[in-house]
A and B are shown apart, each in its own frame.
Chain A
Amino acid sequence: DVKVTQSSRYLVKRTGEKVFLECVQDMDHENMFWYRQDPGLGLRLIYFSYDVKMKEKGDIPEGYSVSREKKERFSLILESASTNQTSMYLCASMGGILGANVLTFGAGSRLTVL
């Protein structure tokens, strides 16, 4: 019954490495999101996409980019990882009418940058 799948649950990378976080949803949702979760800060929106090849910056886009080449897949890219990007990353999707506002989340990808 998995609906939003994040391919990597745990990653350890070195400073300066390029990091790809992959997210796939099987609900044919138009909208997909990447959040970052840190203790005491809650969830903060990095980027979202409302259609294939479309993207919008969220509240903390610096140091990140995204790619959405297919409707079901939304990738988060860290061009040059830094230690302050050590965090839990959550992907989510949302479909239906605009008023639904209900997000379906993946299990998360915990990234450690050394």
Chain B
Amino acid sequence: AQSVTQLGSHVSVSEGALVLLRCNYSSSVPPYLFWYVQYPNQGLQLLLKYTSAATLVKGINGFEAEFKKSETSFHLTKPSAHMSDAAEYFCAVTSTGFQKLVFGTGTRLLVSP
């Protein structure tokens, strides 16, 4: 069975600081991995996705994530946080088809001035 674990339900950073949101997955076959973002009072939108091409994936708004098979990780990073990055971030995995997309429990990013 596939699963995804997001470490830390809340992460706080200062504006301009590095953002690191952690995601570890479990899958018996090569996975597809995703990061979605949810701004307040909105639905989720795709930040980036890994589909077995380049291991370093660049997304929108300056975010990127690196697929590390040896560590079964897909951590999300951004070099410099902006106030507008405050949101909830979800990691998701699938390896058996779209109907089996499994989401993590989410990490809320708080950005202070």
Q: Is the CB of B94 within 8 A of A101?
A: yes
Contacts of A90 in B (CB 8 A): 43-44
| Main SS at interface, chain B | mixed
Interface residue from B34, B44, B90 paired with A101 (Cβ < 8 Å): B34
Q: Is the CB of A103 within 8 A of B99?
A: no
Whether B18 sits at the interface, judged by CB under 8 Å, is no
Interface residue from A35, A42, A56 paired with B105 (Cβ < 8 Å): A42
Contacts of B90 in A (CB 8 A): 42-43
Which residues 85-113 of B sit at the A interface, judged by CB distance below 8 A? Answer: 90, 94, 97-99, 101, 103-106
Q: Is the CB of B105 within 8 A of A103?
A: no
**Interface readout for B42-63 with A: 1 if CB under 8 Å, 0 if not?**
1111100101000000000000
Contacts of A98 in B (CB 8 A): 97-98
Interface residue from A35, A40, A107 paired with B41 (Cβ < 8 Å): A107
Which residue numbers of B lie inside 8 Å of A, CB to CB?
Answer: 9, 32, 34, 36, 41-46, 49, 51, 90, 94, 97-99, 101, 103-106
